[in-house]
Amino acid sequence: MKKTILDGTEKEESGKNVTFLPLETPGELKRVRKIADEVWPETYRAIITPEQIRYMMEMMYSVPVMEKELFSGVFFDLCLVDGEDAGYTSFSACPDEPGTAKLHKVYLLERFHGQGIGQKMLAHACARCREKGFSRVILAVNKRNVKAQKAYVRAGFAVRESVCKDIGEGFVMDDYIMGKTL
């Protein structure tokens, strides 16, 4: 089945059963890491160096780092497609903007792209943010990740600012901050 989206293009809808599982225990976070091990090289191979990918994977996706985040108020949700682990999202309160959630992670395995599943993930993440009492949501997206930027625009996000953040070891995150009202 095809669905016309905001920019006039048509996308295939998956017709697949897409469900979400809130992750609540440290052991469940290994499922996120497993997906990240596949999706990060796919997503960033043409955008950042392999060395930066490795550095950021350990900085953000080591199980102890994610456990610390989980226990400090970051919410993780796993996306399942027909029961298969396919992607994940995470968000938390934005400490310097009351009423705003920060969407930290939105990743979907490449084989599920182009089926409307990513848009379902974004809608789910925004709904979860609303459930937690947030009225706005922001996210950071690499300036060279045009595919993700287009997906966020389709979901109603707009660029708020441009930032370049030093993350150590000589690496930076050169991002757009995008946001939307819920």
| Count of domains observed in the chain | 1
Taking only the tens place, the pLDDT of each residue in 57-76 is 999 999 999 999 999 999 99
Distance from C-alpha of 103 to C-alpha of 90, rounded to nearest angstrom: 6
User: Which pTM does this prediction carry?
Assistant: 0.88
pLDDT beyond 50 at 7: no
Domain membership of residue 29 as a residue range: 2-138
Q: pLDDT band for position 2 (50/70/90)? A: very low
Within a domain: residue 56?
Answer: yes
138, 155 in Cβ contact below 8 A?
no
44 within some domain = yes
In this structure, is residue 149 part of a structural domain?
no
Q: Let me know if residue 148 belongs to a domain.
A: no
Q: What is the mean pLDDT of residues 163-173?
A: 96
Domain assignment present for residue 106? The answer is yes
Buried b (16+ CB within 10 A) or exposed e, 12-42: eebebebebeebeeeeebebbeebbeebbee
Q: Is 55 exposed, middle or buried (0-12, 13-18, 19+ CB in 10 A)?
A: middle
Residue 177 domain-assigned? no
Assigned domain for 80 exists: yes
Alpha helices in the chain (DSSP H): 29-44, 50-61, 63-71, 117-131, 146-154
Both tokens of 84, joined, read 């298969």
Residue 71's domain is classified under what CATH number? 3.40.630.30
pLDDT at 82 over 70: yes
User: Looking at the domain assignment, is residue 38 inside a domain?
Assistant: yes
For residue range 101-158, what is the model confidence (pLDDT) as tens digits? 999 999 999 999 999 999 999 999 999 999 999 999 999 999 999 999 999 999 999 9
